[in-house]
Structure 1
């Protein structure tokens, strides 16, 4: 299993660090022959600079059999970030590009069973996110998906139709 490490690079005199920047969105592009995913993440620094980190890119200067996955950090402009968000996560556009002063956060207390919490923690760790960040991403995706959720499970059993 590939574990993503934090990346820090200086590009044109500016420091880009995944540990201190906001992870705006993670997109899985594809998987290689061994099932290792090619991940692309969009980050925003505290000074509203954007950059992409591509994980698991085969190193181009090695023999095909000896290639090891590497991570590539690329600073991008605001316009490029907007195009990327429009392509991969348009439901998050307003939140990603909101200034810090516009962010109006609140607290939600959610009661769930221990097994569900353990599964959420495992999924969050798998994606190298906090439990809070992972749950927020999943909730936002559900809220802003254009298609209604598949199935219905416990919601339909309890008389709640998510497509209404």
Structure 2
């Protein structure tokens, strides 16, 4: 089974890191002979720089039976990001391109029992997300459920997450 690792690259003096950037959207294209999906993630850095990470790209210089998959990180312009969003997830356009400033953010404090928190932490860890990101995705699921083009969990299935468990 392929497990996505965090990627960090310095390109033209700028650092692109999947651990610290916002994963705006995950798009799954198809699967290879072994059933491994070809995945493209759009990320936005804290400084509003966009980049794509293509997962499961067969290494071009290896024999097919020995080929290992690689992840390719490509910085893109705002215009390229807008085209990508228009093609793969137009229903999320407003949220993805919202101005990333403190004025647009707010804090929500929840009081929950320790068992519920432990379950949320376990699920967040399972999906390789922070607790905050996982809870935000769960809340978005409720809000965007009606807007997702493929019904119910479309937003999350696009990201490769099955949040029903």
The alignment's TM-score, normalised by the length of structure 1, stands at 0.72
* Structure having greater relative contact order (Cα 8 Å, sep ≥ 6): 2
Residue 26 of structure 2 is aligned to residue 16 of structure 1: no
Pair member with larger Rg: 1
* 1:90 CA drift (Å): 2.2
Could you list the structure 1 runs, at least 4 aligned residues long, displaced by more than 6 angstroms after superposition: none
Alignment correspondent of 1:155: none
Matched pairs, number: 149
* 1:35 CA drift (Å): 1.8
State the distance in 2 between where 1:57 and 1:35 align.
13
* 1:76 CA drift (Å): 0.3
CA deviations over 1:44-84 (Å, ceiling 9, x no partner): 11211100011111111111111111000000000111111
* 1:142 CA drift (Å): 5.3
State the distance in 1 between where 2:4 and 2:39 align.
10
Alignment correspondent of 1:104: 105
- SS of the residue corresponding to residue 43 of structure 1 reads strand
For 1:1-164, list aligned pairs within 5 A: 1-101=1-101, 102-107=103-108, 109=110, 118=119, 124-141=124-141, 143-144=143-144, 145=147, 149=152
* 1:2 CA drift (Å): 1.5
- SS of the residue corresponding to residue 53 of structure 1 reads strand
- SS of the residue corresponding to residue 79 of structure 1 reads helix
- SS of the residue corresponding to residue 20 of structure 1 reads coil
For the aligned residue pairs, the C-alpha RMSD in angstroms reads 2.9
State the distance in 2 between where 1:109 and 1:29 align.
37
Alignment correspondent of 1:160: none
Q: Is the 8 A contact 1:91 1:141 kept in 2?
A: no
State the distance in 1 between where 2:111 and 2:35 align.
34
Q: Is the 8 A contact 2:48 2:100 kept in 1?
A: no
Q: Give 5+ residue unaligned stretches, structure 1.
A: 151-164
Q: Is the 8 A contact 2:7 2:18 kept in 1?
A: yes
